[in-house]
Chains A and B, each alone.
Chain A
Amino acid sequence: MELEARHEYREELAQLERRALDGLQLVVASLDRTVEAVRHQDIELAELVIADDDVIDGRYLEIHQAILTLLATQAPVATDLRLIAALLHVMKNIERMGDQCVNIAKLIPIAGHQPPADERVVGNLVTMGNAIRAQIRQAKRAFAERDVEMARDLVRQDDVVDNLNRECFQLAIEIGDDHDRREWAMTMMLVARALERIGDNAVDIGEQVAFVVTGLFREFEDASHPGGVVEPQRSP
């Protein structure tokens, strides 16, 4: 009974997943550069981040097309169908993460060539960046290994990032009266906000892991329903 049927299709599906999850590696590379650009307030490096986002967008289009082809030609069902639906979400999250890196990169020139940078704020943002980097890598591993517990743990890590974001806000408030410093601090708040959103995207990927494994989609945490379960809406 256990004979290997649909060999090519299985291979295609596995390849599709690898290519999609490798997109997370592209995000990690982009994030690393972004954090470096923040650390050194490096405008040239920021421009490189913006230019390289095309690679992530290209991956998004590639996976999107491959998924359409697979749906049209192979009619996947059950776990396969859930995997494909999840990959579509994951790829969208990857694309959003890349865009957030671009958003950050565009903020760096606004702060100018010799910005009145505050060591503690920059340090905070770098710590955030590193925490998010770990989140992305963990999301990738949780997906590849179909590990729901590891995926759920992303929520705990995201709390750390959220706290760093609040700290950054506090540091910005306490930055003093100097106009330029205040303006710089405001810009870095936007950087923190964009980083925090990347962390949220990693949690979203974790939710897709749970969906692939269990067949049920539930948000791990929902800001509008803290601790509660949101039931799917039924069309009338």
Chain B
Amino acid sequence: MNYEPSELNVADPEERTTPRIPGRAESPTPSPASPGGAERTSRVEALHATRRVRLERLNAYYGDNHAVRDLDLTFEPGHVTAIIGPSGCGKSTMVRCVNRMHEEIPGARSEGRVLLDDVDLHGARVDVVAVRRLVGMVFQKANPFPTMSIFDNVAAGLRFVGTSRDEVTDRVSAALEDAGLWSEVQGRLSNPGMSLSGGQQQRLCIARALAVEPEVLLMDEPCSALDPVATLKIEELIGQLKEKVTIAVVTHNMQQAGRVADTTAFMLDGELVEVGPTDKMFTNPDDDRTEQYVTGKFG
């Protein structure tokens, strides 16, 4: 996909000098003069994960509680990064800083930089709505909009960003396809989203996140409420999606990290203890605390 250079900025023509994320080099629609969605019809090219997320000296607080401490971490494009660590170690808070959900909590604040390529998503002039379109999020518990049909659940985000009616239909089916749900729901798109099974609901939420064509997908315990088969389907999906979007998965399930992640990061008490290739983290970690955690000696 390509997105308008101004997409991350507040819609103010005076703000042309604000940070911009360049579109792909081969982007067929360089039209810088188009602030709306007029050029979006060109989104037919295949998606490839190209965006690198870099956290630099990230600190997050809930009031006086210092939940994330001086964290430096990179989510590489085309990779799945798993974040593991005991409850309360700050891993969810950390990913919620990436799409700026953390700041929604009263009394919560963060410091440091969250870079998508070279644009600071926490920059003063960056539009938070644009951030959430580029950085999608899937939660522990599937949360389809309860009153909406399957179709409308996926279309909700698209309508929010002003996609044309025809394109909505295409994009909904494409997103359901990408989420591995199309064949299971194609005949009953008008049924309520809540009529699906738990695993299907979670894939519906993934489809909803994918519909707006994010560059980054954050998943916070995406399988912890699912049975083993539904879990394996989501994991399979993560393996396919990583070609298209940069993925970070918070998980308590270390076997899951082992199965899906290329890179695993271990957090403890708000700090990043160790990050490395997943196979190394689970066979021969460098840090004693990682060793203790993955072998189940604490946590």
Contacts and interface: CB of A to CB of B under 8 A. Distances in A.
A206 to B, nearest CB: 19
B282 A1 contact: no
Interface residues of A, number: 16
A3 B297 CA distance: 7
A79 interface: yes
Contact of B284 (A3, A76, A82): A82
Contacts of A6: 296-297
Contacts of B285: 78
B298 A78 contact: no
A76 B295 CA distance: 7
A82 B283 CA distance: 7
Contact of A77 (B283, B298, B299): B283
| Interface range, B side | 10 to 19
B41 to A, nearest CB: 42
Contacts of B290: 78
A80 B295 contact: yes
Contacts of A215: 283-284
Interface string B60-80: 000000000000000000000
Contact of A3 (B282, B283, B295, B298): B298
Nearest to B291: A78
A5 B297 contact: yes
B294 A77 contact: yes
B255 A78 contact: no
Contacts of B294: 77-78
A37 B91 CA distance: 65
A5 B296 contact: yes
B185 interface: no
Interface string B246-259: 00000000110010
A9 B290 CA distance: 19
Interface in B160-209: none
B296 A1 contact: no
A111 to B, nearest CB: 49
A9 B296 contact: yes
A61 interface: no
A178 interface: no
A79 B284 CA distance: 7
A177 B21 CA distance: 91
A5 B283 contact: no
Nearest to B296: A6
A78 to B, nearest CB: 5
A61 B179 CA distance: 46
A72 B285 CA distance: 22
A2 interface: yes
6 contacts: A1-B298, A5-B297, A6-B297, A77-B283, A78-B285, A216-B284
Given A78-B291, A81-B282, 8 more contacts: A1-B298, A5-B299, A9-B296, A75-B255, A77-B258, A77-B294, A79-B295, A81-B283
Pick the 9 closest A-B CB pairs, nearest first: A215-B284, A77-B282, A6-B296, A77-B294, A78-B291, A1-B298, A78-B295, A78-B294, A80-B295
